[in-house]
Every structure is written in C-alpha cells, then in structure tokens.
Amino acid sequence: MAEAAVVADQFALLAERLSAFGKTVTAKVPIAQTPKRLVWTLNKAKLYRYVPVLPKEKRHPVPLLLVFALMNRPYILDLRPGHSFVEFMVNQGYDLYLLDWGSPGPEDKNLKFDDYTLEYIPRAIRKMKAISGVEEFSMLGWCIGAILATVYSALRPDDGLRNLILLTAPLDFSNKQDITFPKWVDERFFDVDKVLAAVGNMPADMIDYGARALKPVDNYVLNYLKLWDNLDNPHVVEAWKAMNTWVTDNVPLAGGVFRQLIVELYRNDRLMRGEWMIRGERVDLGRIRANLLTVIAEGDHITPPCQSEAILSKVSSKDKELFRTPGGHIGIMAGSGAHKITWPHLDHWLGRRSG
C-alpha cells in the first residue's frame, strides 16, 4: 500500500513537470522591451532609434546602426531586460539605431542584395544622419546583415562610415569541404530556380529546418532535454523561453536574395573573388576604408570561422582587428556569457573610435 502511494506521488510529480514543460515550450514571452521610436519606414523595413538614457554631453557623438540578418527577427539584440545588447549599448551612451527588415511578402520576391544595399540601407542612413545631425556613423552587421554591411561599405565608401563591425560574417565561400551548407546547395542536388518558382520567397520554415538540421540532435533533442532537466531552475527556464520565442519566430527570405546567396556566394564565391556585380558595380572589398572589427564565434556551425577571416586581408582599412570568442553563432551575442565577453569588447573597441 505504501509503495503504491510512493509510485502515485511519482506520477503526480511527472504530471506536474509535463504540464510545466508544455507551458514553457509553447510560451511566448515579452521581448524587445528597450524603449525605441520608429523614425523611418520603407516597404516592410523600419528604422528605430532607441531612446537615450544618458544626457547628450555624455553620449558618443557617432551613432551606431545595427543591421541584422534578413531571415530572423532583430530582437535577438534586445531579447529581455538585463540580457539585452541594445540595452547595454544604450546605457554605455551610444546613439543607437536598429534596421528591422520586416517580413517580405509575395510582392517582394524579386528583392535582391542590390535593393537592400543600394536602396534601403543608404536611405535609412540618410535619415539616421538627419536625425542625429552628424555626417559620420558606425555600422554593425550580423550574419547576413554583415554581408549587407560589407557590400554597402565597399560600394559607398564615401558615405561617412567610420567604424564597421562584422559579427559572424559569411563572406568567404572558398572552403566547400568542411562546411555543410555548400554541399546541400550544390547544383547537382539542389535546383534553386525550381524551388523559387514554387515558393516565391524562401519560406521561414524551410530556412529554419536548414539551420536546425546542421545539428539535428542538439536542436531537436538536447535543446528540450536541457529544459526538462532544468525545469526547477527559473533562470534557465526564463532564458529558454525568451530564446525559444525568438527561434520560432522566423521570417521568409526574399527569393531574389536567396538565389544570389546560393548562386553568387555559396556556389561561386564571387564576393571574395572580386567578381560580384551589384547593379552593374563590382563589389571591390579594397574600397573599404572604415575601421574594421571582425568577430568570430569559435563554435559557430552556421558561419564557421573560415568564412569570416579572409576579409581582413582584402580591405584597405588601416585600423582592423579580428576578435575570436568562444560560443556559437547566436550565443556570442545572446548567450549567458555575452555580457562578460562580447559586449564589453564591442563597447571598448567602438567607444575609442566614436569620439
């Protein structure tokens, strides 16, 4: 009888844990809570300016523009209070702007890197300069946002870009042996035109599957097991909820961009070879003169370090630095150690160049 009661207790405990697990997995928590103001829009793109918390005399005069990837929501940079890169930088006195690309609709399926780098970014920068009343600015690009920032910097080197920060930037596609993505999109196995003819824009679910399938056990099993093991730890649960909210909130990628990414970059490595043409202009990385900081995540499986190293030898910048940090593609900026390693280094590097 007593044994039966013990077993029943265990079942009750299991039911309680399963209930908590289910609630956590499906929870959507408030994110992106740092106060900001919408200052410019074009099509789906929005430019936000974060409300400064320091008086003007204590702020850095050179504004910083954040450019994130096209197929994820940019609020990973402002995940939750106390764990937000945006909040950290605003507190350090930066005049901070964020370019949110939004979600492309069927009418945007022909948008290309050409449009983002020569229409959207320059217009957003013009507005940022007009609001801040300065001619020089800094730009931080992350993942595909780093490709956009690099191409823009090479095509418009006289627009006033003083500092360029590239986070986990997939720029060098020459190594096809050690990286998984180039194998998957090899033209023998993957017909990009057939896919885009059927879907228009690359669906968010397909992109998400591609990213998760690089480490299938980690993403489909271990991630949930980690939560199960730590259901009693509110710190882990809160962090898990916020990250899961972001991970499950993806956006499609404009068909034109996806095609360029596969054909021009993954298959033909045109950017590093100096052969990439954007609206008739050759993207010459040697034209980049801005101070350059390239951040590499040593454990990055989406953008392996070998894809971000070569840019330093191609640019004309006199002031350039390669910063390696432990962690993965997202973890270096949103993981538990980001506020101890990556954020302070970015602030230290940029602060000395933003006076």
Partner 1 sequence: MADERATNGKTTNGKDLDPMAAFRDMRDTYLDAWSKTMVDAVNTEAYAKASGKMLDTYLSASAPFREIMEKTMLQALQQLSMPSRADVISLAERLTNVEMKLDDIDAKLDKLTELRKQTASATRVRKPAAVAPANKRRGKR
Contacting partner 1 within 224-283 (CB under 8 A): 225, 229
Region from 55-63, 165-173, 209-217, 305-313 binding partner 1, contact rule CB under 8 A: 209-217
Contacting partner 1 (CB under 8 A), which of 38, 213, 274, 340? 213
Instruction: Give the count of beta carbons closer than 10 Å to the beta carbon of residue 299.
Output: 13
> 100: which strand partners?
46
Binding to partner 1 (CB under 8 A) within 33-62 occurs at: 40-43
Q: Binding mask 143-182 vs partner 1 (x if CB under 8 A, - otherwise)?
A: -------------------------------------x--
CB of 211 to partner 1, least distance (A): 12
- Among residues 164, 256, 140, 135, the alpha carbon closest in space to that of 201 is found at 256
Q: Judged by CB under 8 A, which of 9, 16, 135, 191 binds partner 1?
A: 191
Report the alpha-carbon distance of residue 313 to residue 207 in Å, rounded. 31
Question: In the block, which residue shows the tokens 């023998």?
Answer: 188
Smallest distance from partner 1 to CB 191, Å: 6
Q: State yes or no: is 143 an active-site residue.
A: yes
Closest among 45, 29, 171, 58 to 97, alpha carbons compared: 45
Single residue of 22, 106, 286, 326 touching partner 1 by CB under 8 A: 106
306 is catalytic: no
Write out the H or E segment, with its range, that includes residue 342. helix 342-351
Q: Annotate 226-263 with b (16+ C-beta within 10 A) or e (fewer).
A: ebeeebeeeebbbbbbbbbbbbeebbbbbbbbbbbbbe
- In this complex, which beta carbon is closest to partner 1, that of residue 1 or of residue 198? 198
Whether 329 is catalytic:
yes
Token pair in block for residue 72:
């994820």
Q: Give the pairing type, strands 64-67 and 277-278.
A: unpaired
Residues 63, 139: Cα–Cα separation, whole Å = 8
Q: Which is nearer to partner 1, 12 or 221 (CB)?
A: 221
Q: Which stretch binds partner 1 (CB under 8 A): 75-83, 93-101, 123-131, 232-240?
A: 123-131
The yes or no reply on residue 130 touching partner 1 (CB under 8 A) is: yes
Q: 171, 146 in Cβ contact below 8 A? A: yes
Nearer to partner 1, 218 or 309 (CB): 218
**Interface contacts to partner 1, rule CB under 8 A:** 40-43, 105-107, 119, 123, 126-127, 130, 180, 183-184, 186, 188-191, 194-195, 198, 213-218, 221-222, 225, 229, 301
Residues that are catalytic? 143, 300, 329
